[in-house]
Copies of this chain bind each other. A is one copy, B any other.
Amino acid sequence: MSLADFKTWLPGALQRNETIIFGARCEIAYSGRAESHLHLGDRIIIIKADKTLLAHQPEGNNPVNHMREGAHHTLEGEGPLLLKSENPKLKEYLYTTITHIHFYHGHTMEDGQKVHTKGTEEDMSDMIFTNPQLIEEGFKPLSREEHTQYGFIDVFGHDKDNILVIIECKRQNADPKAVEQLKRYVEKMKLTKGLKHIRGILASPSISTNAEHMLKAYGYEWKRIQPPNYLEKYDKAQQQLNNY
């Protein structure tokens, strides 16, 4: 597979909005939010139907460079090829100097599916809203995941003594930032409603040491809640982890 073949082929594939993949020995320079440079090596480059570009090294999770949807790709030169990927709107520019093409492939792909994820923070607040006794007996939720004038609050409602309760959910270990977040909501709602007593509850499967200290210092509470729909095996591991 020669550089010349590739140069002849690419423009058509781009125009047909194919999903394009090629392996190349190349050098990559990027300018935009930051600047980066990567010396010569073998990489995989993907250009998707929406003109997203991804450059991957042969190891590691993350792309070493990427351009977002809507970039414009052009090929110049003969000796080494220069692939210019430009997104003037985002002020991003990626220049790939290609010395060898290992393989290339284009295919029209169809995929209208969206991934459905379970066990998210949203699922947690849904679960609490539907099963308020998970928090405590007598808890009556009023609102869930709403942009109130006090901010975006996961769940809030009244306890059995009609005291206002604000709940912040975290699907993993709760850290000091979560406590700050809870505090911000409680303080703001106290101020706005002119109330002295509002209970703040942090709901999560576990909590970090510092977060627990802060929580106590502020006079808030913690309630252990497992995010719903976890795998059987994952649940068990979590339960063992948290049985202290």
**A interface residues with partner B (beta carbon < 8 Å):** 19, 21, 23, 28, 31-44, 46, 48-50, 52, 54, 56-61, 64-66, 68-69, 91, 102-103, 105, 107, 109-120, 171-172, 176-177, 180, 184, 229-231, 233-234, 237
Q: Is the CB of B115 within 8 A of A31?
A: no
Q: Is the CB of A36 within 8 A of B91?
A: no
A65 to B116, CA, bound (A): 11
The residues of B that contact A234 with a CB separation of less than 8 Å are 31-33, 91
The residues of B that contact A33 with a CB separation of less than 8 Å are 119, 172, 234
Q: Is the CB of A120 within 8 A of B34?
A: yes
- Not counting A34-B117, A35-B230, A58-B109, a sample of 12 additional A-B residue pairs whose C-beta atoms are within 8 angstroms of each other reads A21-B23, A38-B113, A48-B58, A52-B61, A57-B111, A58-B110, A59-B111, A61-B66, A64-B115, A91-B233, A102-B109, A103-B107
Report the 7 A-B pairs with minimum CB-CB distance, sorted nearest first.
Answer: A41-B111, A42-B109, A34-B119, A58-B109, A50-B59, A41-B113, A36-B117
Which residue of B has the minimal Cβ distance to A21? B21
The residues of B that contact A115 with a CB separation of less than 8 Å are 28, 36-38, 64-65
A119 to B91, CA, bound (A): 15
The residues of B that contact A119 with a CB separation of less than 8 Å are 33-35
